[in-house]
Amino acid sequence: MASSLPIPVPPRSPTPPSDNSPNTNTPDPSRLSAATANHNRDSLSPLGDSFPSPRSPTGGFDPNRLSPTKPSFSADLQNASNDDSSSGPFNFTTVSMAKSPVGKSNIGQRRGHKYKHSSISHQIFLEPPPRAPLALPNSLPIPTFKECRSSMSRDQKSRFWWSVCHMFVAAYTLWSAHGSLAMTALSHLILFDSLGALLCVAVDVLGNFEVWKRSSIRHPFGLERAEVLAGFAMCVLLLFMGLDLISHNLQHFLESSGHEPHRSHPHERVSMGNVDVTALLAISSTLVSAIGLKNHARIGKAMRFAYIESLPSILSNPSHFLTISCSTLLLLLPLVSIQIYGWLDKALSGTIAISMCVLGMRLVKTLGSMLLMSYSGKGIPDVIKDIEADPSVFGIDDARFWQVHYGLCMANLKLRVSGSDENLIRLRERVSSLIRNRLGGGYGTGGQKWEVSLQLTVERL
């Protein structure tokens, strides 16, 4: 009874109507007749022996169908993949990349209207005016130790070996100073002079390279300020050596007054020959370094003592004056008696130590202000008064005086003036010559070089 019932036709997936068909609601009679003729009511029955297979259009069993129940399923699957490799949807082929550079493509670039090429009324983006190239380089190469050694001339090599000999004189003085505090203090002075001589040679060798004096963006004044920094370090060392000598003298004074020392310090009287040899070596080495190497010449120009300024060129330098005078006084030690020897030796040592501290403090102050880009010399108030006394000057709004290194000083002034153009030109020349003569020592004296810049604001009466 159940088998005689008609099996309904399975629902059909809706197909979107064609754009070309005028009436999509009217079914096609030819399609309905063909579907009815080919319809088999037992084709969808799972109880039938001839249940249709996906690969059998007639409804029979397909022996080539892949089924996991077959013993040769894996082999058939491999063969099927090999057969479909050429016609499957994932047909990948090996492509070799081109080694030539890829040409420029316009893909991804926007092709629109550019405002800068439009009319004058639409020129929103204006190109900046062309600038002249900078006259200063960005930076200059700093020489290495190997390059400095290879650039040394014969004269520079001889001066270098002399500075080494000067250090050996300081070492010999310290080694032979047993029994004399004055000779120990003198050895510290000779060590300071030998370091100054070595610095003079280093400055002379670095002057062979362009980076030493030429300005750049990274080093606006070259590397000459490195000499100021090295001199500042030497002056700090001189100050500490003087303080060490003062503490050593205080220790010996306490020992002589009855205090028991933690460690014994045996001091014997130094022989006459050692004192004479040491003093003569100190005087000769100081004179050779001062005359041949111009030792401490730049420091002497930057700092002057009024008491010794009238002396000859070598003795007017405080460093040379201190070393030569102390070496000369040492020659008197072997000539005095034993009772006077102890007091004279301690007094001479204390005098040298105090002089080293005073000289070190003055040099530290002078070179420290130079490192801070200021001027510590005298004569600035007098220069300001002379400029204000000019009839063309109404007032000075700003005045800055500063020293870059040993050989270069700068003055920047802002003045309110009145008068004709000729008077203003005369005023510029007068102010520049006034600063150079008063502060620089005048033309041909070998003083500091002054660069003067003036900004004049003309007052209309």
Residue 32 is predicted with a pLDDT of: 46
- Give the tokens for residue 194: 């030998």
Looking at per-residue confidence, does 17 or 293 come out higher? 293
Find the range with the poorest average confidence among 226-230, 269-273, 375-379, 438-442.
269-273
Q: Residue 275 pLDDT more than 50?
A: yes
Q: Which of 97-101, 114-118, 348-352 has the highest mean pLDDT?
A: 348-352
Closest-CA residue to 216 (of 148, 132, 135): 135
Using alpha carbons only, what angle is made at residue 206 by residues 204 and 212, rounded to the nearest 5 degrees? 115
> Per-residue confidence at 121, pLDDT binned at 50, 70, 90?
very low
Task: Compute the mean pLDDT over every residue in the chain, rounded to the nearest whole number.
Answer: 76
CATH 1.20.1510 fits 145-371, yes or no: yes
- How many CB atoms lie under 10 A from the CB of residue 274? 19
Over residues 353-357, mean pLDDT: 92
Q: Residue 329 pLDDT more than 70?
A: yes
Over residues 450-459, mean pLDDT: 88
SS3 content of the chain, % helix, strand, coil (to 5): 50, 5, 45
Using alpha carbons only, what angle is made at residue 159 by residues 153 and 165, rounded to the nearest 5 degrees? 140
Report the percent of the chain where pLDDT is more than 70: 65
| pLDDT tens-place string over residues 218-251 | 888 888 889 999 999 999 999 999 999 998 888 8
Q: Residue 54 pLDDT more than 80?
A: no
- How many CB atoms lie under 10 A from the CB of residue 419? 18
Using alpha carbons only, what angle is made at residue 309 by residues 306 and 315, rounded to the nearest 5 degrees? 130
- 3's enclosing H/E stretch is none
| pLDDT tens-place string over residues 138-195 | 888 889 989 999 999 999 999 999 999 999 999 998 888 777 888 889 999 999 999 9
d(CA 240, CA 234): 10
Over residues 20-28, mean pLDDT: 50
Over residues 312-324, mean pLDDT: 82
**In Å, how far from its chain's centre is CA 416?**
40
* CB-neighbour burial class of residue 28 (10 A; exposed 0-12, middle 13-18, buried 19+): exposed
Q: Residue 24 pLDDT more than 50?
A: no
Q: Residue 390 pLDDT more than 60?
A: yes
Contact present, 139 and 217 (Cβ < 8 Å): yes
Note the maximum CA span of the chain: 158
Closest-CA residue to 367 (of 267, 245, 226): 226
Looking at per-residue confidence, does 22 or 198 come out higher? 198
| pLDDT tens-place string over residues 330-343 | 888 777 777 787 78
Q: Residue 63 pLDDT more than 60?
A: no
d(CA 78, CA 252): 106
Domain extent listing, the chain = 145-371, 380-458
39 φ/ψ sector (left φ>0, alpha ψ -120 to 50, else beta): beta
Over residues 395-422, mean pLDDT: 88
Q: Residue 8 pLDDT more than 70?
A: no
Report the percent of the chain where pLDDT is more than 90: 17
CATH superfamily, domain 380-458, is Cation efflux protein, cytoplasmic domain (3.30.70.1350)
Task: Say what the pTM is.
Answer: 0.65
Residue 205 is predicted with a pLDDT of: 92
Contact present, 331 and 279 (Cβ < 8 Å): yes
Looking at per-residue confidence, does 446 or 230 come out higher? 230
DSSP per residue, 227-296: HHHHHHHHHHHHHHHHHHHHHHHHHHHHHHTTPPPSS-----PPPHHHHHHHHHHHHHHHHHHHHHS-TT
User: b/e per residue, 114-148, with b = 16+ CB within 10 A?
Assistant: eeeeeeeeeeeeeeeeeeeeeeeeeebeebeeeee
